[in-house]
Amino acid sequence: MYNLYILKSLKDLGYYIGITENLEKRLKEHNQGKTKSIKSRIPFSIVYSENYETKIEARRREIQLKKNYKIRKELLLKLDFNIK
C-alpha cells in the first residue's frame, strides 16, 4: 500500500506533496530534517492522504497534483490552504 500525502509546514504554512509506503515514518524523517529541500520549513503535520495499491498509481497522482495547477489548487483550497 502506498500513500500520496500532503504535509503542512507549521513554520510557513506552506505545503509539500509526496508519496511513501510508511506515512508515519516519512513524517518523522521530514520533521528530523532528512529531506534537504524542505529542511528549513520544519515542523510539518499531515493534512491529507490517499491510499493506492501500487507505487505507479501513487506516483501518477503525485505528478498530476504537481503539474496541474487547477487540480492542485482545488484540493488545497478544500484543505484550507491560502492559495494565490
pLDDT for 84 equals 62
Using one digit for the tens of pLDDT, what is the confidence trace for 23-56?
A: 999 999 999 999 999 999 999 999 999 999 999 9
The secondary structure of 16-48 as a DSSP string is EEEEES-HHHHHHHHHTT-SGGGGGG--EEEEE
Torsion region of 64: left, alpha or beta (phi above 0 gives left; psi -120 to 50 gives alpha): alpha
pTM of the model: 0.92
2-78 to CATH, choices 1.10.10, 3.10.450, 3.30.2000, 3.40.1440: 3.40.1440
pLDDT of residue 26: 97
pLDDT digits (tens, 9 = 90+) for 66-76: 999 999 999 99
